[in-house]
Amino acid sequence: MADIVDIIKGVFSDSLGFWKKRGERFIVDLVKINILEWAVFVIPVVILISLAMIMLGSISLDETEAASALLGNIAFLAIAFILLFITYLVSAALGSVMLNAVDNRAKGKETHIIRQFKANFVPYSLYVILIGLISFVIFIPLIVGFLMAGGDGGPGAILRILGSVCLFGFLSGLIYILFVFFIQFSKFELIIERTGVVDSLKRSYSLVRRNIVGVFIFNIIYIIIAFAIGSISSVIERILIVALQLMMVGGSITGAIFAGLLYVVIVFVISVLTTFVMLPLLYFFWKRIKTPQKEKGKKKMKG
């Protein structure tokens, strides 16, 4: 238990030192990465939605033309889905560079965003796809239970569905929480240590299994901090929404656009600051439990 307390104290000490010495450069990295991440995801989505609305608005009432337009819309939706999926992977890979940023800044190095993105894209995309597939498999019992509970309908169908959702939802949710708990360090292993996708999951599982009590206690502290930050952010957002609604009372288009942009900027700032606080804590905890023997050796040398 003493070792766990020492590790957690060390994590906060490391994080405080990091924020003081490297915080300014780290937050600049986060702003750049988040701007790229948002731009890559939001701009294509807006364009695709706009095109979809134009196409739907141009559907003719003529049966022949309507059939042709329907096929065109189906083809468009298929292409749009593929483009959105690729856009999501690109955005996720850009987001993964934040792990490189905290590691580089902790080591006193510069963060080369584009270079790191290129190195991360393929392994992180495979990682995202694999995690998505595993998550889907975990929730298959919920889907199957829901379909089977419905049966042929009847007066008890709703109760059967609710019971099935509660039972299988609880089991699937519990399995998913355990899955996330054991792979929580896999991104660090994949992006920073450059292990393979499967090996990163194995290493994370091994780290958590060897330090399960310490990881559990740290997770509780981490969740409390995240909840506190989230609560403060929620209050700020609600106050902002009320203020923006007052600004839009006059019905001015310019005022509405300004209010919308201001809201996006505030949400962006909150997102960056949240990552600025939370990511170093998780990073330094991962570093601490990866090298417990080295830490003990340092203490003996100091003694």
Chain segment 148-201, per-residue pLDDT in tens: 665 555 556 677 677 777 878 888 899 999 999 999 999 999 999 999 999 999
Chain segment 8-25, per-residue pLDDT in tens: 999 999 999 999 999 999
Residue 61 scores a pLDDT above 60: no
Residue 55 scores a pLDDT above 70: no
| pLDDT (0 to 100) of residue 234 | 85
Q: pLDDT-derived band of residue 281, with 50, 70 and 90 as boundaries?
A: very high
| Mean per-residue pLDDT of the chain | 84
Chain segment 196-244, per-residue pLDDT in tens: 999 999 999 999 999 999 999 999 999 999 999 989 888 887 887 777 7
Which of 27, 10, 13 shows the shortest CA–CA distance to 277? 27
Chain segment 122-135, per-residue pLDDT in tens: 999 999 999 999 99
Q: pLDDT-derived band of residue 2, with 50, 70 and 90 as boundaries?
A: low
Q: Which residue's entry shows tokens 């909150």?
A: 270
| pTM: predicted TM-score of the whole model, two decimal places | 0.82
Which positions ≥6 away from 281 have C-beta within 8 Å? 11, 12, 15, 222, 225
| pLDDT (0 to 100) of residue 164 | 74
Q: Could you tell me if 71 and 65 are in contact, meaning their C-beta atoms sit under 8 angstroms apart?
A: no
| pLDDT (0 to 100) of residue 236 | 82
| Residue 51 or residue 302, greater confidence | 51
Residue 108 scores a pLDDT above 60: yes
Q: Which residue's entry shows tokens 């006193």?
A: 108
